[in-house]
Amino acid sequence: MNWDDLRVFLAVARTESLSGAGRQLKIDPATVGRRIARLEEGLGAPLFAKSPQGYELTRDGGRLLAHAEAAEQAVSLGLDDLTGDGDEQLKGAIRIGAPDGCANYVLPRVVARIAEEHPELEVQIIAQPRLFSLSKREVDLYVSVSPPTSGRLLVQKITDYHLSLAGMRWYLRQHEDIVTREDLKRHKLVGYVPDLIFDKELDYLEEIGASEADYTSNSVSVQLNMIRAGLGVGVVHDFCLPYVNRMVRVLPDEVRLKRAFYLVRHADDRKVERLSRFSEVLCQSMREVVEQLEREA
């Protein structure tokens, strides 16, 4: 058994398909299949069972998974030790997941700051409005809007951020004044698709005194562009406001919500110095960027 075969095994176990593993490892799915067959032959046991849902681990596959992940951790620690010999530079690829508001409007500025000090570091930002799986290694770490309460995870608060009710200045001039929350009933609201809200912290409507939105999306960026197009008013991250000219707060003294970002890592990565150092730099930069953007709003 060699490490390359275990890498292929882990990729299939996490993606539950040969094609998904092939994309992750950048090799042909047929090659993935041959490597798995070779590993099974060498071990004398079937590791996967094909099902309508994909490739599912057998009992023997599940037993091997724990050992393969331990081997992966050992290799990662070894490489971290060898490449970090007195070198303050962060190198290699790190993949970070984040909800699309953070990924679009905060992380690019954060990564630009980090890149100045660590030019050999490759940061991959995965922007999706959902939770990420660290056990399947979809990402190395991720930003969440609420702290997970289960799983073997390292969780640290990054920073608070704020949201406001907002609309385009020209839209507000052309429609009835909004002086109280009651006036919102005479305006169209932009918000999340209710059944696609993946975290309770994103359910803002009740807090602003509304029951439902008229125009919806699961994407913060799409919601922002709906408001920009004059479809109505909606809850907007304060750190987004500097990106849109003539978008202004509505009822600023009555509607200002506070949320927080959390950084989540797998507990097994506690000893990986490179990820720990990156986490420190990321959190510090995110605090500074969010504070700066909110000042500019």
Mean pLDDT throughout 21-46?
A: 90
Query: What is the torsional sign of CA 150, 92, 84, 12?
Result: positive
Residues 124 and 114: their CA atoms lie apart, in Å, by 13
Higher pLDDT, 133 or 90: 90
Q: pLDDT-based confidence at 87, cuts 50/70/90?
A: low
* Nearest by Cα to 95 from 138, 124, 119: 124
Tokens of 188: 């169209």
Distance of CA 157 to the CA centre of its chain: 15
pLDDT per residue over 92-151, tens digit each?
A: 889 999 999 999 999 999 999 999 999 999 999 999 867 787 777 788 999 999 998 888
Alpha-carbon distances of 180 from 132, 209, 256, 257, rounded to whole Å: 39, 10, 14, 16
Residue 84 pLDDT: 53
Q: pLDDT-based confidence at 76, cuts 50/70/90?
A: low
Residue 85 pLDDT: 47
**pTM score:** 0.74
pLDDT per residue over 40-68, tens digit each?
A: 998 999 999 988 888 998 999 888 987 88
Instruction: Write phi, then psi, for 40 (nearest 5 degrees).
Output: -65, -40
Lowest-pLDDT range of 14-18, 66-70, 78-82 = 78-82
Mean pLDDT throughout 153-165?
A: 96
Instruction: Write phi, then psi, for 248 (nearest 5 degrees).
Output: -130, 160
Strands (E), the chain: 48-51, 54-57, 92-98, 121-127, 141-144, 153-168, 189-191, 215-216, 233-237, 247-250, 256-266
Residues 103 and 70: their CA atoms lie apart, in Å, by 31
The SS3 call for residue 193 is: coil
Residues 8 and 22: their CA atoms lie apart, in Å, by 8
Residue 7 pLDDT: 87
pLDDT per residue over 165-203, tens digit each?
A: 999 999 999 999 999 999 999 999 999 999 988 888 999
H/E segment holding residue 44: none
Residue 83 pLDDT: 55
